[in-house]
Chain A
Amino acid sequence: MNTLQQPDRKHAPAFGTLDQVAIAEAKTIKLGNGIPLFKIDAGTQDLVKIEFIFPGAGATSQPGPLVSVGTNDMLDEGTGRFSSSELAERIDYFGAFLQMESTLDFSSACLFCLNKHLRDTLPLLEEMIKSASFPSHEFDTYLQNKKQKFLTDEAKVSTIARKKFTQLLFGDVHPYGHYLSQGDFETLDRQQLLHFHQRAYRADSCHVVVSGKMDPQLDLLIDTHFGDKTWSSMNTPSAKQPALIQSTLVKKHFVEKKDAVQSAIRIGRLLFNKMDPDFMGMQVLNTIFGGYFGSRLMSNIREDKGYTYGIGSGIVSLKQAGYFFISTEVGVSVCKDALTEIYFEMARLRNELIPEEELILVKNYLLGTFLRSADGPFSLADKFKNIYDYGLDYTYYQRYVQVVKNITSIDLQALANKYLQEGQMTELVVGLQ
């Protein structure tokens, strides 16, 4: 009955590579008060994501620890007109979702909703952004519960390693490096949040990114709720002086955690952000080293030795700096061996040319990853934000595709010798050695 021929299973089918990558670009308009609104009209479902971004409301702009995140988290905990529970009741009734994000460089308030509920939910977002009131009993509850979550996180070797590592790289004084501690929860007070909100959540220091399938009335609606001049700042706040980065001079660090079954490892160095001409090349090199499932670190330390469930490396681009890191959790008995193998792989990148076949694989993988990262309205919004935050335009992505396509093994070896010397690394182990 089965008359089908066996296909050729020994050889891979023919495949194509991406030559040009077309990204749907954001359209720009301005609200009545000058707020730039960037629109990405894409997707198949009748829904929308509206994100208000405040670049002056991130941790780098805050007067003290927790002020930025506390202010952002509490936007929905009560306003001039609505109590916390009234807001929650309305948001939930209209099937909407809020996502408050507070990062080192900015804070944002984001609303997800079906288009049919847009008219009911936008006024709520307006209330939160313009008139959050930070009621004191809500503040107490918030702080108490946030502290308990903090203590749970602090019991994980991976959390300790992540926080301690950036502290080593940037120093505790710099907001990028501050090690949040229990004491920070004791000193935070509600007035700080009120002041920070008044200063940082202002029409003239914000922009809006909207993505999804656009309601034809969307511009008008957003302008109605956010386009007035009443919430612009009275006076331009003076730019905060960037704090000094003070890296540790000691290269190897160990934090003991008794009873640990695994130790967390972090190895890395200060690098640069995406404005540097070497950034894109380093992204390719990082991918080969530890940036994808088939990376050298994964192949050696997981797939050959079985020391870990996962190991990876990455480059973090921040507004004022950037860093490179390797991260893993390994069985305590193989911690030393894992460290040896990590440095072995690093040396191999400096001393040997990457074979052509591996390089082609990684290039194609990166181009496919790029395509995935630009799929769907929300991803396209992220693509836009990633360049806008640095004052870049969409040609950045064309350059990226060209760098990925054209970089050679010789270029990559030179980058490894420049930036991946063992002596340049800071090493941290948390757990048992």
Chain B
Amino acid sequence: MIKFNRFTLDNGLRVIVHSDTSTQLACLNILYDVGARDEDPAQTGFAHLFEHLMFGGSVNIPSYDEPLQRVGGENNAFTSNDITNYYLTLPVNNIETGFWLESDRMLSLAFSEKSLEVQRSVVIEEFKQRYLNQPYGDVWLLLRPLAYKVHPYLWCTIGKEIKHIEDARMDDVKAFFKKHYTPSNAILVVSGNVQFGEIKQLTEKWFGTIPTTPKPVRNLPPEPVQTEYRNLSVQRDVPSDALYMAFHMCSRTEKGYHVMDLISDLLSRGNSARLYNSLVKSNQLFSEISAYLMGDLDKGMFVISGKLLEGISFQQAEDAVFHELEKLKTDLISDMELQKVKNKMESTIVFGETSVLDKSMTLALFELLGDAEGINLEVGKYMAVTRAEIQEAAQTVLRKTNCSSLFYQALKH
């Protein structure tokens, strides 16, 4: 049970305070409700590039990192297709420095040309390091546009291509900030060895004077229902063949999300899971295989991916996966097996609540989903899933006509 208090400033900033007296640290987490899905299709990668620019100095403070490091703090950020999340931890007695820094960059950035120029290069190197210079690095650049034809999940957070990053201009940066980085579009979570009254007062002092603009309205084109099996084969210089299968599933807030999450665990969580047991251990077709949700907030992807053993064809491998999926559709799973994945999920959630940083991020995400209290309801939602719901969801989602398969083939030397 994670206890918290919350309030909203007049400018629309939502604030959550969680007190944990077991730590000497404090954590500030700010979630901005903007991600790669909010980008212009001709300017992809922008939300992530922008995240880099948030460290290039703000209107009153030339450097973000230095003053934080000077008080013993550390920070980082990430961008997903859905959100951009910034976080810092520091000794609790220096918490005001965190408020000073975060509020100034919400007020306005420095918009330095030099910072834009350098971060363009840094992000291009990131593109190369993570997506081009790694075996299987470009998988998501291929799989997303196969599975999505309309919805902006069709591109990666890094962007569709390097050129989009090269083309980013300062005017675009300013417009993006003005539209998305407003108090009404943000959620602040403060946690650690803190008192609610003190945090409320600090928040009002530092964030209260930031002018408000309306929360941007998101109006994304829904992805049309997929009606035919899709397949793409590519050849790359990698050591072994790899198979990726993506299925469309429900959004994060729909009831079926927890069911699909448990299905992914039935298939691949732990060494007793179905795909591992059947396709890695008993019938040796794969050297590794896993099933997972992308965690998308809009209607998202359920993915199965694995590396094929030498001499196994893609057809054999894919048929074997479908054969395992078929079992979920035709036979009710046992009570024992369902209890197993529920127990594992409960452990995972409790272990995820051991650090103030993890708790802060989770609270912010649930508040975005509608209510931070969701953090305390999550175990119950998993526990309520029934065997029949598992079977139904498998029948609805894990169909061949709902599948986009990528055959990532190793070039033979």
Binding site for B on A (CB under 8 A): 1-2, 4-7, 9-10, 12-18, 42-47, 76, 84-85, 87-89, 91-97, 112-114, 117, 141, 144-145, 148-149, 151-152, 154-157, 259-262, 292-294, 302-309, 329-331, 360-362, 364-365, 367-369, 371-372, 375-378
Contacts and interface: CB of A to CB of B under 8 A. Distances in A.
A387 B272 CA distance: 37
B10 interface: yes
Nearest to B271: A88
The 8 closest A-B pairs by CB, nearest first: A368-B72, A306-B121, A95-B347, A88-B271, A95-B343, A151-B239, A88-B272, A92-B270
B384 to A, nearest CB: 17
A46 B74 CA distance: 28
B69 A144 contact: no
Contact of A7 (B133, B205, B343): B205
A113 to B, nearest CB: 7
Contacts of B307: 148, 152
5 contacts: A10-B60, A85-B272, A303-B118, A309-B129, A371-B72
Nearest to A22: B24
Contact of A294 (B25, B66, B129): B66
B287 A306 contact: no
Interface of B: 10, 20, 22-25, 59-61, 65-67, 69-74, 89-91, 93-94, 96-97, 99-100, 103-104, 107, 117-126, 128-130, 132-136, 204-206, 208-209, 237-240, 269-273, 277, 280-281, 284, 287-288, 307, 309, 336, 339-341, 343-348, 350-351, 353-356
Contacts, number: 231
Contacts of B122: 302-303, 306, 308-309
Contact of A148 (B99, B240, B345): B240
Nearest to B59: A9
Contacts of A7: 100, 205-206, 209
Determine which residue in B93, B99, B269 has the highest number of CB atoms from chain A within 10 A of its CB, and name it. B93
Determine which residue in A5, A18, A94, A155 has the highest number of CB atoms from chain B within 10 A of its CB, and name it. A155
Contacts of A5: 209
A151 B20 CA distance: 45
Given A13-B96, A93-B336, A2 B350 contact: no
Contacts of A6: 209
B347 A152 contact: no
A155 B137 CA distance: 11
B287 A375 contact: no
Contact of B94 (A9, A15, A94, A293): A15
B71 A15 contact: yes
B287 A45 contact: no
A261 B344 contact: no
A376 B355 contact: yes
